[in-house]
């Protein structure tokens, strides 16, 4: 594998990639990052229609027989990331940070390593800032996973699952992004998804992220609800903005776009030997 200058955050844009191939690719990239063969990376891509089940998934999260999902052309994959079941499909930005947490921040008590909670909070802020650039007020809700958008203005900074329960149940607050990470010996993988212009119906066929009565929305849907507006951003544009925001939140330095081959990835998305 080619050794890459370790500075900054390497952005690798991969287009549409099968989920299973990217699952194995991430495992190998994590090991390459641990050996110092790669810089910190952000992989941005889309997946074909796929449900992924995290470590906390329960049998009832997929509320219909497997045959139903097969008829819809949706693959079901188990994954080692955190969280429960979610949907991926074309028009949704998926971003996988392959990042060494030991090189982030200044925490003398932990040898300079950023904690997982702070890492997740940085991802949440980056997602919210990207959505804000496109005119959508969104943010986290304490006690719920992911990023949420409110139809009645920005969420309060102290929003909690309890304080927003009625609005979530009524659909006035909807989920627009998900986070599900895996941290292996200090290196992150898996990551996040932002609904840009994807089909939202498949979310209705599951208990998304284990949250009952959860309306899911997208950038395109929120812009339509706000009134006449221009087209939503492309997935590629959204991914590039997110990379800039994430690098800023984590103080990783400049974002450098990398050819997939420079990160040990071939055009099909699997890692090279």
Q: Is residue 269 predicted with pLDDT exceeding 60?
A: no
Q: Is 209 a catalytic residue?
A: yes
> For residue range 52-102, what is the model confidence (pLDDT) as tens digits?
888 776 666 787 888 999 999 999 988 878 778 889 999 999 999 999 998
Which domain CATH number covers 31? 3.30.930.10
- Least trusted range by pLDDT, from 152-156, 161-165, 198-202: 152-156
145 belongs to a structural domain: yes
pLDDT at res. 103? 73
Which residue in 216, 202, 241 sits closest to 149, CA to CA?
Answer: 216
141 belongs to a structural domain: yes
> Which single residue is written with the structure tokens 């990160």?
263
Q: Which residues pair with residue 139 across a beta bridge?
A: 148
> Which single residue is written with the structure tokens 């060494």?
100
> For residue range 30-55, what is the model confidence (pLDDT) as tens digits?
999 999 999 999 999 999 999 988 87
- Least trusted range by pLDDT, from 27-31, 168-172, 185-189: 168-172
> For residue range 131-144, what is the model confidence (pLDDT) as tens digits?
999 999 999 999 88
Distance (Å, rounded) from C-alpha 174 to C-alpha 168? Answer: 6
| CB contact at 8 A, 85 and 180 | no
3 belongs to a structural domain: no
139 belongs to a structural domain: yes
Q: Which residues pair with residue 53 across a beta bridge?
A: 78, 85
Q: Which 8-state DSSP code applies to residue 95?
A: E
The count of structural domains within the chain is 1
| CB contact at 8 A, 123 and 192 | yes
272 belongs to a structural domain: no
Distance (Å, rounded) from C-alpha 202 to C-alpha 72? Answer: 9
Catalytic residue among 77, 197, 198, 209: 209
Q: Is residue 29 predicted with pLDDT exceeding 90?
A: yes
pTM: 0.89
Distance (Å, rounded) from C-alpha 198 to C-alpha 46? Answer: 10
When computed from its CA atoms, the radius of gyration of the chain, rounded to whole angstroms, is 18
> For residue range 94-112, what is the model confidence (pLDDT) as tens digits?
999 999 998 764 433 334 4
Element at 257 (helix H, strand E): strand 255-257
Mean of per-residue pLDDT scores for the chain: 87
> For residue range 6-24, what is the model confidence (pLDDT) as tens digits?
578 999 999 999 999 999 9
Instruction: Residue 213: give the domain boundaries.
Output: 9-263
Q: What is the DSSP string of 125-194?
A: HHHHHHHHHTT--EE--BTS-SEEEETTSPPPTT-BTTTTHHHHHHTSEEEEEEEEEEEETTEEEEEEEE
270 belongs to a structural domain: no
């Amino acid at each position: 594998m080619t050794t890459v200058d370790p500075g900054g955050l390497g952005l690798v844009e991969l287009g549409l990639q099968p989920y299973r191939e990217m699952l194995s690719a991430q495992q190998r990239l994590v090991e390459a990052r641990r050996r110092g063969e790669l810089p910190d990376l952000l992989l941005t891509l889309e997946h074909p229609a796929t449900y992924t089940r995290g470590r906390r998934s329960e049998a009832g999260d997929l509320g219909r027989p497997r045959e139903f999902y097969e008829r819809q052309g949706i693959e079901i994959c188990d994954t080692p990331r955190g969280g429960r079941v979610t949907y991926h499909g074309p028009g949704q930005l998926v971003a996988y940070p392959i990042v060494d947490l030991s090189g982030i921040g200044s925490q003398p008590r932990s040898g300079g390593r950023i904690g997982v909670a702070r890492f997740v909070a940085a991802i949440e802020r980056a997602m919210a800032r990207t959505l804000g650039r496109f005119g959508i007020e969104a943010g986290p809700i304490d006690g719920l996973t992911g990023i949420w958008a409110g139809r009645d203005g920005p969420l309060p900074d102290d929003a909690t699952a309890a304080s927003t329960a009625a609005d979530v149940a009524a659909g006035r607050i909807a989920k627009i992004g998900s986070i599900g990470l895996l941290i292996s010996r200090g290196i992150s993988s898996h990551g996040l998804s932002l609904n840009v212009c994807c089909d939202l119906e498949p979310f209705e066929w599951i208990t998304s992220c284990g949250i009952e009565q959860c309306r899911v929305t997208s950038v395109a849907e929120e812009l339509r609800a706000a009134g006449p507006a221009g087209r939503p951003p492309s997935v590629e544009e959204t991914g590039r903005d997110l990379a800039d925001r994430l690098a800023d939140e984590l103080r990783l330095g400049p974002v450098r776009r990398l050819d997939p081959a420079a990160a040990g990835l071939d055009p099909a998305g699997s890692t090279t030997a």
